[in-house]
Amino acid sequence: MAQLLKGVLDHQDIIQRFLNSYKEGRLPHTFLFVGPAGVGRKTVAIALAQNLLCEKSVPACGLCGSCLRVSNWASALNSKKNSATGHATGTESLWLIQPEKNQIRLDQAHQILDFLSLRTLSKNRVVIIDGAETLNPQAANSLLKSLEEPPVGTYFFLIAPSAAHVLSTLKSRAQVVAFSPLQPSDMKKKVSAPEWALRASQGSFERLSQLLEKDELEIRQSALAWLQDWASGEGQGYLKSENRELVRDRSVARSLAHHVSWLLRDAMYLKLGASEKVLNSDQIPVLEKLNQSLSVDHLLRACEKSLWIEQKLDQNQDSSLVFEQFWIETRP
């Protein structure tokens, strides 16, 4: 699709404000796009870049040489081969930087400065920094002057989870734009996925993809089985070999804790008669059976303690001991 804005799901209010500001000649030169991963921040940045670079009009015509180059580049970027982190790429008027090993270094910032120093025949140029929160201080400092006083016709899009994650020197030079999670109804237009997964993704394509991975689906089922053992009231069920083995691997334990927390949350909503808020909607019969032996107060304590599990795992505490403590302190 040559007109990239037509492929954007939701965020129409952000797009329209941007286009209106550009047409009225009052568009800021630096933006900080914040919001959950997988909701389309980079997609919108690239689509808006096409509009800034179009040789004919705004909205972009989708037919001129610049529009086609951006569209072809975006298609290549979305392929597995070219979308790896750390890959710097672009067209003659568009440059994208992404983290390499969870960091954007000084040499990558210098690539941006080199790009801006080149002569261009286009009316505008665009730089997208995906993962702006990973800019190390040296890299960020080298870009401050360009962000504050960019060359004529130069626009920056910085992308990060939240403004709080970004260095204050960068944040102060940008207009912050907050992106909301996508609606399941919008996500259905792009992918075919189970209803429960769409709900549990909480509006993020990245999270949806993770939920549907084979290993993640197995952990989700293990979390259900683990909770069923816990709710049965078996005093030392955590000593079962399968339960002990399940939490031995730290990465598996983190994912298990997350699913346990969400399932307990869903069980609480069912207990309160708010089934429309249940994320794991395909497991409602199992959760209703689970609830038969649990009171509201008990569920509330378990929900709070499940969040404690995630906190302790983030602090690198022993995963086996953390899960054992949850079991002992909260079992029916």
Query: For the sheet containing 89-90, what is the strand order?
Result: 89-90, 94-97, 125-130, 154-160, 30-34, 175-178
Averaged confidence pLDDT in the chain:
91
Q: What pLDDT is recorded for position 238?
A: 75
Amino acid 172: pLDDT: 95
pTM value is 0.85
pLDDT of 134 reads 97
Q: Each residue of 44-64: pLDDT tens digit?
A: 999 999 999 999 888 899 999
Q: Which two tokens stand for residue 264?
A: 């307990």
Half-sphere exposure of 9 (CA within 13 A, CB side): 18
Decide which of 134 and 91 is more confident: 134
> What are 145-161's pLDDT values in tens digits?
999 999 999 999 999 99
Predicted pLDDT of residue 269: 96
80 CB burial (10 A radius; 0-12, 13-18, 19+): exposed
Do residues 176 and 41 touch, judged by C-beta distance below 8 A? no
Could you read off the pLDDT of 11-39 as tens digits, one per residue?
999 999 999 999 999 999 999 999 999 99
How far apart are the C-alpha atoms of 68 and 2, rounded to whole Å?
A: 6
pLDDT band at 1 (very low <50, low <70, confident <90, very high): low
**Chain segment 157-173, per-residue pLDDT in tens:** 999 999 999 999 999 99
CA angle 169, 172, 176 (to 5 degrees): 125
At residue 91, the pLDDT reads 87
The span from the CA of 129 to the CA of 36, in Å, is 16
Confidence of residue 83 (pLDDT cuts 50, 70, 90): very low
> Over the stretch 191-250, which tens digit does the pLDDT of each residue have?
999 999 999 999 999 999 999 999 999 999 999 999 998 988 766 777 778 888 888 888
Give the integer Cα–Cα distance in Å for 238 and 256: 14
Structure tokens at 132: 């702006």
Are 267 and 294 a contacting pair, CB within 8 Å?
yes
* Closest CA relative to residue 190, chosen from 5, 8, 33, 14: 8
Q: Is the pLDDT of residue 323 over 80?
A: yes
Residue 131 has pLDDT above 90, yes or no: yes
Question: Among residues 138, 139, 53, which one has the least CA distance to residue 98?
Answer: 139
Beta bridge partners of 96: 89, 128
**Strand pairing of 30-34 and 175-178?**
parallel
* Residues 6 or more apart whose Cβ sits within 8 Å of residue 221: none
pLDDT digits (tens, 9 = 90+) for 109-120: 999 999 999 887
Q: What is the pLDDT of residues 284-298, one digit of tens each?
A: 999 999 999 899 999
